[in-house]
């Protein structure tokens, strides 16, 4: 299988000495491809030498992807905003009967799938609230309807929070891990192709209890993704930051994701001759001579039998219209720094996404130079969080995405959901 990840890697580069002596040892580790500790992460967050942090993240990003920057053509479907929970940071949810509450009919969903197909989208991203009454069969019917209308479309659907909700309402396979797997199998059979990374927020019990009590905790979120990976599904991971959490809690979040990815990739890494350290660390971000592009995990190739985390997506918190409206939200510099630290700490994640719809396109351009290699897609009808204006019609053209990437100094590469290069002729496309 050819892929977007098979281009020649950029030559290994040396880092300029940081102005902050506290970063000297960290820079040496990054050059050598050694794993960073939580204390290193804290130093990266604390330093005033932000340029040194960004340079380190950029070095790692160029080792993995050279000057390529990925985008995709996708369509979002938020099938309902009715939700049994009331997370404080969420401006999306409504209660049944409340003004603004909606549920898309199956006809609407079919129409959206046809629009996606006709516009040449490669992916439909499907998420919604935890609807208190819709039966499990509604969700499998929804996937089948999309599949029937647009067979080529990859369906990335349902956060881990929704999967646990579906397990509860379906009563499939019991309450535990096997129940999650049973639900995932049914969804896969109906057309599910991968899991999005939402619902992770920040993996910390204090933050959980204060800001999104009632939602699943970190262990359940991680278990859903582990189950998906065991079944061969790839997934992404998010981190919603800039609300009531501390930077140390962001680092803990990253460490939990990194540890799980170590376990997922261990057998594959050993088969590839990639060193696995005695404590189980699988580091993919070292010098190009040791970790050439061909060793990036790709689905179904190079002896990889499981799915894995493809991408970390740091998401800045937007206070508007949420119960945490009194908080200021993160600044642009904090967005840059958090993304760069994520790139450096998550050394076993192939990709880091600057999700333009929440970061804004100008910010995403800067983040391409701070460790990001992906800015997501054309994105139609994304109404979970709005960074731009009041409307919910969030869309940009392929030409604008490409121009933004080129202006940032990179070569735009259209990818599919699994980061394979897309070859396109208008609305017709195939994986190259
Ligand atoms: S964040 Fe998700 S689970 Fe929480 S209230 Fe909003 S839609 Fe519901």
Spell out which residues line ligand 1, taking CB within 6 angstroms: 83, 85-87, 90, 92-93, 129-130, 161, 212, 215
Contact (CB, 8 A) for 288 and 298: no
Q: Which residues neighbour 375 within 8 Å (Cβ) at sequence distance 6 or greater?
A: 69, 70, 71, 353, 354, 355, 356, 361, 364, 367, 368, 401, 404, 405
pLDDT of amino acid 334 = 95
Q: What is the pLDDT of residues 321-341, one digit of tens each?
A: 677 888 788 889 999 999 999
Q: What is the mean pLDDT of residues 310-316?
A: 96
> Hunting for tokens 């040194």 — which residue is that?
52
CATH 3.40.50.720 fits 4-431, yes or no: no
Give dist(CA 251, CA 135) in Å, integer: 38
pLDDT of amino acid 13 = 64
292's tokens: 């050439």
The CA 200 to ligand 1 mean position distance, Å, reads 11
pLDDT of amino acid 4 = 42
Lowest-confidence range among 59-63, 188-192, 284-288?
A: 284-288
Ligand 1 atom index nearest CA of 92: 6
The CA 323 to ligand 1 mean position distance, Å, reads 12
173's tokens: 């396979």
> Is 361 a residue whose pLDDT tops 70?
yes
Protein residue with least CA distance to atom 2, ligand 1: 129
Contact (CB, 8 A) for 322 and 41: no
What rounded mean pLDDT belongs to the chain? 89
> Nearest to residue 318, comparing CAs of 382, 379, 258?
382
Q: What is the pLDDT of residues 233-257, one digit of tens each?
A: 999 999 999 998 889 999 999 999 9
The CA 414 to ligand 1 mean position distance, Å, reads 31
Residue of 86, 87, 127 to test ligand 1 pocket, by largest number of atoms within 8 Å of CB: 87
Q: What is the pLDDT of residues 189-229, one digit of tens each?
A: 999 999 999 988 899 888 888 888 888 899 999 999 999 99
Indicate the Cα dihedral angle 311, 81, 240, 214, nearest 10°. -110
Lowest-confidence range among 35-49, 113-127, 220-234, 320-334?
A: 320-334
CA–CA–CA angle 174, 177, 181 (5° rounding):
85
């Amino acid at each position: 299988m050819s892929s977007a990840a098979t281009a020649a890697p950029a030559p290994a580069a040396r880092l300029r000495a940081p102005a902050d002596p506290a970063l000297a040892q960290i820079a040496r580790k990054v050059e050598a491809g050694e794993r960073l500790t939580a204390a290193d992460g804290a130093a990266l967050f604390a330093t005033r030498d932000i340029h040194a942090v960004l340079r380190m993240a950029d070095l790692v990003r160029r080792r993995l992807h050279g000057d390529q920057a990925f985008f995709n053509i996708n369509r979002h479907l938020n099938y309902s905003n009715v939700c049994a929970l009331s997370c404080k940071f969420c401006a999306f949810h409504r209660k049944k009967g409340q003004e603004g509450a909606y549920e898309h009919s199956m006809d609407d969903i079919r129409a959206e799938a046809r629009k996606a197909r006709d516009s040449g989208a490669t992916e439909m991203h499907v998420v919604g609230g935890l609807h208190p009454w819709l039966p499990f069969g509604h969700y499998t019917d929804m996937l089948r309807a999309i599949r029937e209308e647009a067979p080529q479309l990859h369906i990335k659907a349902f956060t881990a929070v929704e999967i646990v909700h579906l397990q509860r309402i379906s009563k499939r396979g019991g309450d535990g891990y096997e129940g999650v797997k049973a639900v995932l199998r049914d969804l896969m059979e109906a057309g599910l192709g991968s899991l999005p990374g939402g619902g992770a927020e920040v993996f910390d019990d204090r933050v959980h209890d204060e800001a999104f009590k009632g939602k699943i905790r970190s262990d359940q979120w991680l278990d859903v993704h582990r189950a998906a990976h065991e079944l061969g599904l790839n997934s992404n991971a998010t981190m919603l930051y800039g609300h009531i959490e501390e930077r140390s809690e962001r680092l803990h979040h990253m460490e939990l994701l990194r540890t799980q990815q170590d376990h997922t990739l261990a057998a594959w890494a050993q088969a590839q001759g990639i060193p696995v350290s005695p404590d189980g660390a699988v580091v993919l971000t070292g010098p190009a001579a040791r970790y050439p592009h061909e060793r990036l995990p790709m689905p179904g190739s190079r002896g990889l039998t499981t799915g894995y985390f493809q991408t970390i997506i740091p998401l800045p918190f937007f206070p508007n219209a949420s119960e945490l409206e009194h908080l200021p939200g993160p600044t642009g510099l904090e967005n840059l720094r958090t993304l760069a630290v994520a790139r450096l700490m998550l050394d076993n994640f192939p990709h880091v996404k600057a999700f333009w719809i929440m970061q804004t396109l100008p910010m995403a351009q800067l983040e391409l130079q701070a460790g990001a290699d992906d800015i997501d897609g054309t994105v139609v009808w994304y109404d979970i969080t709005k960074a731009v204006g009041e409307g919910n019609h969030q869309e940009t053209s392929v030409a604008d995405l490409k121009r933004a990437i080129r202006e940032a100094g990179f070569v735009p590469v259209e990818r599919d959901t699994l980061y394979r290069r897309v070859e396109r002729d208008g609305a017709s496309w195939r994986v190259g």
